Amino acid sequence: MLQGKTVFITGASRGIGLAIGVRLAQEGANIVIAAKTADAHPKLPGTIYSAAAEIEAAGGKALPLVVDIRDEERVAWAVAEAVSTFGGIDVLINNASAISLTPTLDTDMKRYDLMHQINTRGTFLTSKLCIPHLMQAENPHVLNLSPPLSMETRWFAPHVAYTMAKFGMSMCVLGMAGEFKKYGVAFNALWPRTAIATAAVKNLLGGEESVRRCRTPEIMADAAYHILTRPSRDCTGNFFVDEEVLRQAGVTDFTPYQVDTTLRDEELMPDFFL
């Protein structure tokens, strides 16, 4: 179903975004890698060019583009490049995100602005610019990597600025799913049940021991595949959880997705917001 389809992924130079790109490339998709990292970062693996090499090795075509999704002109340029190169856009993955798990008094406004500009504003902006092209697609999907909306104090109190920024992405799902339902453009969210082994977990949530209790990004990639191959008119406005999607697809053994396959399920680190 994804052979020859064009998928625009923000923040796809590493982590979950890259894993989704590689997974969809295995189905023959064209992957637009819209991310900032053109040169190797000392603390973060991967660039848009190393990501492009992985995607092409997996069987897809890659278009690496240096994009800061805070920059409206740059996002517009990237969308135009994608359409010029591949003829359209079929899927948008709003993956790019900034995180700071700080309480209010420890959150400087520079970091607050970064999270809101990338997470909420960047998702809104990239969606806005892709929608006219998605409306021309056969089975158009937008997938935001954001949590189910849950207005409970426990999700806000420890890191209100971050929660606001992530829930902003989820509010885009809620609103745009309704706004564009009549056009057949699907808007859904996907969130992991457990923490995922990414640089953010390693750097912010306890290092190697925390990573050991994670699942790999491939679980999110496989879940994304199952969502994006559903008919867009029948699958919109949902807040999906990776494990639930895969159980519906018939997966019963999740051990292969664990970083440490010797751990029991209850020993894995649960993610926020669930």
Element (H, E) at 165: helix 160-179
Question: How many angstroms separate the first and last alpha carbons of the chain?
Answer: 31
Q: What is the mean pLDDT of the chain?
A: 95
Mean predicted confidence (pLDDT) in 192-216 = 85
- Going by C-alpha positions, the residue among 249, 116, 246 that lies closest to residue 194 is 246
Q: Give the CATH architecture of domain 6-267.
A: 3-Layer(aba) Sandwich (3.40)
Identify the band that residue 40 occupies on the pLDDT scale cut at 50, 70 and 90: confident
Q: Is 70 exceeded by the pLDDT of residue 131?
A: yes
Mean predicted confidence (pLDDT) in 101-115 = 97
Catalytic residue, from 49, 112, 162, 257: name it: 162
Identify the band that residue 206 occupies on the pLDDT scale cut at 50, 70 and 90: low
How large is the greatest C-alpha to C-alpha distance in the chain, in angstroms? 49
pLDDT tens-place string over residues 152-191:
999 999 999 999 999 999 999 999 999 999 999 999 999 9
- Going by C-alpha positions, the residue among 214, 242, 215, 206 that lies closest to residue 227 is 242
CB of 63 closer than 8 Å to CB of 86: yes
For the beta sheet containing 6-10, the strands, ordered from the edge strand earlier in sequence to the opposite edge, are: 61-66, 30-35, 6-10, 91-94, 141-144, 186-191, 239-241
pLDDT tens-place string over residues 59-93:
999 999 999 999 999 999 999 999 999 999 999 99
- Whether 183 is catalytic is no
- Going by C-alpha positions, the residue among 205, 218, 244 that lies closest to residue 26 is 218
Q: What is the DSSP string of 75-139?
A: HHHHHHHHHHHHSS--EEEE---------GGG--HHHHHHHIIIIIIHHHHHHHHHHHHHTTSSS
Identify the band that residue 208 occupies on the pLDDT scale cut at 50, 70 and 90: confident
The number of helix segments (H) and strand segments (E) in the chain equals 11, 7
Count CB-CB contacts under 10 A for residue 106.
Answer: 11
| The one-letter amino acid at 5 | K
Residues in a beta bridge with 111: none
Tell the burial category of 105 from Cβ atoms under 10 Å away from its Cβ (0-12, 13-18, 19+). exposed
40 alpha-carbon distance from chain centroid = 21
Q: Is 80 exceeded by the pLDDT of residue 207?
A: no
Helices 160-179 and 122-134: crossing angle, nearest 10°? Answer: 20
User: What is the reported pLDDT for 204?
Assistant: 67
Q: Is 90 exceeded by the pLDDT of residue 272?
A: no
